[in-house]
Amino acid sequence: MRTVEQFIAGLCAIGEQDFTLRRVAAYVAENRVNPDSLTPYLFYTPTHYTRNLIYKCDLFELLAICWEVGQISRIHNHQGQNCWMAVPIGRLAVQNYELVRADEKTRFCELRKADRLVMDSEHPSHVEPEMPIHAVLNLPQYGQRATSLHLYSRPYDRCRVDSRVSEDTGILPPCRRSPSS
């Protein structure tokens, strides 16, 4: 296991040309972060998950996201940015969605649930460019807090967030842009 500082140093050692989806996914899988080294970045709140910046440069940013039991993200994408995730504390589900249709003119989207995967300290993940729409969930049945590390390249300042979805139909209201997920 590595401290978060060692983890960042290793990321910084990966050249820009080699900072690819597969190369960084392998690095994240091979370099687990010691949860104790994350203590300065752990801020939980009962009302919503928190996003805590650990490190940012022109090539990537690393955030610790803290989840209380039952907290979930909105359905979102990352506007073409690469995203890798690891869960040094607890476990989380990632619900992926398939875009059935989208009409930019009316700003309407229809999604269909695709696969769901579980992340924990042994099973990191990343967003596949072919299916970038997803939500992250700390399911009530997990019964514990979780902290995930999210690595974004290039750092982004906006993404598409969809605030309401019908679980029955997967139909979303008009899509809109939000400053963050």
Q: What is the CATH number of the domain that holds 99?
A: 2.60.120.10
In the chain, pLDDT over 90 holds for what percent of residues? 75
Find how far residue 130's CA is from the centre of its chain. 16
CA-based nearest residue to 119, from 153, 152, 80, 84: 84
* H or E stretch covering 101: strand 92-103
79: left (phi over 0), alpha (psi -120 to 50) or beta: left
Domain count, the chain: 1
pLDDT greater than 70 at residue 15: yes
pLDDT greater than 70 at residue 53: yes
pLDDT greater than 50 at residue 180: no
pLDDT greater than 80 at residue 177: no
| pLDDT score, position 169 | 41
pLDDT band at 157 (very low <50, low <70, confident <90, very high): low
pTM score: 0.83
Domain around 45: 4-178
